[in-house]
Structure 1
Amino acid sequence: MERKVVLVTGSGSGIGRAIVESLALAGHVVYASMRDIAGRNKARREELAHFSQQNSVDLRVIELDVLSEISCKAAVDQILFEEGRLDVAVNNAGMLMIGMGEAFSPSQLLQIFDTNVVSWLRVNRAVLPVMRRQGRGLLVYTGSTTAKLIEPFMTPYVASKAAGEALAEAMSFEVTRFGVETVIVVPGAFTSGTEHFADARGPETVAVQTQYGDLPNTVFGLGDKLDAIDAANGGSGGVQAVGDAVRDVLALPHGERPSRVFVDFQEKGTDEMHALTQAKQEEFFTKLGIDGLISIPKDKR
């Protein structure tokens, strides 16, 4: 398999950590990015350095704050200085908010959109000029089944993931003519192996939350139900399954990668929903005369 230079955001834990480890073990040069690697994330940086040494892989931790465009560009400049190219960028950094939608303040909604959506644009603005000059590249995004199958009790998160996937897909049409492919990896829910739920933010307007009575407590029983659904479907592969899915995407030849890869052990059916949307999209684009912008292998259309 061709050895690629890869940048992954949000690599400190969970899905991001699984992705960088899978790609490094597959033989790629992997830049695991996170912010404050000399302070708050020093322990994570050291853990990844140990993993790299122990497994004799090329996994490097790099400073990158997805909330700063300057930081994004500086990280890409460092990669270019060291490797001379950048083949893949994985937009994975994100945050979760759990609670009743009405109880979240507008500033909280803006905060999660900044992290889960605008950060993808910042990273893209840093990597796309490089990929266009190269005439080839791959953008990978960590999406969510909640972007298509809407769920309650995490309204800001669901809205941000839907917006993020829309941004990723719209940009995919614009960059495909430059040899840049786009793949959105769509995980279902994982109840373990990630700090996503442990780090989830609650709503600021507690007085509003209490007006919903016992309804907010419903969320506490959903984890066990998700585990039961996973078990009924043969068991969850854990977050490592997402890392392996990204690894397998990179192993495919240029021009043969699907637009979406689903890693959903709850089998919600969002893959079927996407297939219908994809067909309708191509039908409409054909009428507009721009169907060539849909970067999907012909044998998978």
Structure 2
Amino acid sequence: MAVRPLVSLVTGAGSGFGALTARALARSGHTVYAGFLQSNKDKTPDYKDAADFARENNCQLRGIQLNVVKDDSIKRAVDEIMAEEGRIDVVVHNAGHMNFGPAEAFTPEQFMELYEVNCLSCHRINRVVLPHMRRAKSGLLVWVSSSSAHGPSSPFLTPYFAAKAAQDSLAQTYAVELTQFGIETSIVVPGVFTKGTSHFATAMKAGDTAIEQEYMEGALKGWDHIAAEGHNRIVSPDADPGAVAEAVRRVVDAEYGKRPFRVHVEYDGGGAAIVNGVRDLVRETFLNRLGLADLLKVKKFK
């Protein structure tokens, strides 16, 4: 396990990967702040569920209000954690939102909303958290990416896929800029999970219904159902979203300086690990050619 219990902030922890990850880290002995969109701690089930879990498992899991697209909300949450703990060791960038429908039918505003949640929110949080990590000369950013970012992709999910690809690229470039401050980066890449998360159930619908009908009642009629059925068919019955949480936990618990840059959790045979293996090798080779090899290794101050 990591040298000491780490103070960790998990975004989008109200359901799915985020809720599972927050609990896995807390069970492992870390102090975990689970970011919830809601603010009323007395009347929303997320806070009660977290408190009940902490009590039943004798661990440190605390709900905290966090709207990842609002700078003031992020600052309040980080200030609260710093006041209570004096440090933030780990941020798990998990918050995300999906869509389903033909790309053209989503308005530019909807594309931007999905980009805000899935990508830009990570940058917003980094700008508030990283000054504390840089002063501490240590820290860990865990980015929950998607196999669709640079691996298999399918129709009707375009805005989400584009945003997750941007997030993955953001993680890669942040990584080499942070190593000399003692800050590590790990990217966890889930494949397709059709059960155990709320991604598909809460997916954004296309805003331009007229355009949507031209597709879904015209040339692409029925293909959305084929795509949905296909996702269900290719995923192994053993697929467990808890495996994503366990992957994050193993990263956090790993020895400082030896954490993996990328971890894949695939049950769909999509092959993202193959694609990313090549991409990451090309990235490392190019940085070596530029004389930037040292930026690939975290600088240890402790």
Encode CA deviations 1:30-83: one digit per residue, 9 max, x unaligned: 000112231898111111111111111110001111011121122111111111
Q: Which residue of 2 aligns with 1:8?
A: 10
Determine which of 263, 266, 269 is the counterpart of 2:268. Answer: 266
Classify the secondary structure of the residue corresponding to 2:74. Answer: helix
Cα separation, 2, equivalents of 1:184 and 1:21 = 19
Tell me the alpha carbon deviations over residues 168-216 of structure 1, each in whole angstroms, 9 at most, x when there is no partner. Answer: 1111111111110111110011111111111111111111112222626
Matched-pair contact (CA < 8 Å) for 2:7–2:85 = yes
Indicate the residue corresponding to 1:132 in structure 2.
134
Runs of 4+ in 1 over 4 A off after TM superposition: none
The answer to whether the 8 A contact 1:12-1:41 is kept is no
Letter in 1 for 2:122: W
Aligned CA-pair RMSD:
1.8
Q: Which runs of 5+ in 1 are unaligned?
A: none
1:189 aligns with 2:192: yes
Aligned: 1:215 with 2:217: no
The answer to whether the 8 Å contact 1:259/1:296 transfers is: no
Match of 2:208 in 1: 205
- TM (norm. structure 1) is 0.93
3-state SS, counterpart of residue 35 of structure 2: strand
TM-score by length of 2: 0.93
Counterpart mapping for 1:60-209 below 5 A:
60-149=62-151, 150-209=153-212
Matching residue's letter, 1:268: G
Contact 1:14–1:195 (Cα < 8 Å) also in 2: yes
Provide the rounded CA distance (Å) in 1 between the counterparts of 2:239 and 2:287: 37
Letter of the 2:231 partner, please give it.
Answer: L
Change in Cα spacing, 1:132 to 1:153, as seen in structure 2 (3 Å) is same
Q: Which deviates the most, 282-291 or 18-27?
A: 282-291
Residues 205 and 86 of structure 1: is their aligned pair in 2 closer, same or farther, counting only changes over 3 Å?
same
Q: Aligned-pair distance for 1:275?
A: 1.3
Counterpart for residue 286 of structure 1: 288
Q: Which residue of 1 aligns with 2:255?
A: 253
Q: Structure 1's 39 and 83: CA in aligned 2 closer, same or farther, altered over 3 A?
A: closer
Q: CA deviation at 1:220?
A: 2.8
Identical residues among aligned pairs (%): 40
TM-fit CA distance, 1:157: 0.3
Q: How far is the alpha carbon of 1:296 from its aligned partner?
A: 7.9
Equivalences, count:
294
- Cα separation, 2, equivalents of 1:123 and 1:169: 16
Counterparts of 1:134 and 1:41, CA distance in 2: 36
The CA distance in 2 between the partners of 1:110 and 1:40, in whole Å, is 33
Label 1:209 to 1:295 Cα distance change in 2 as closer, same or farther (>3 A): farther
The SS at the match of 1:186 is strand
- Determine if contact 1:185/1:260 at 8 Å carries over to the other structure: yes
State the AA in 1 paired with 2:166.
A
The whole-number CA distance in structure 2 between the counterparts of 1:105 and 1:130 is: 37
- Which runs of no fewer than 5 residues in structure 2 stay unpaired? none
* In structure 1, C-alpha distance between the alignment counterparts of 2:43 and 2:278, rounded to whole Å: 42
SS at match of 1:211: helix
Cα distance in 2, alignment partners of residues 247 and 216 from structure 1: 42
SS in structure 2 opposite 1:204? coil
CA distance in 2: counterparts of 1:216 and 1:184, whole angstroms: 37
Tell me if the contact between 1:35 and 1:41 (Cα under 8 Å) persists in the aligned partners: no
- Amino acid corresponding to residue 81 of structure 1 in structure 2: A
1:48 pairs with 24, 47, 50, which one?
A: 50
CA shift, 1:217, in A, is 3.6
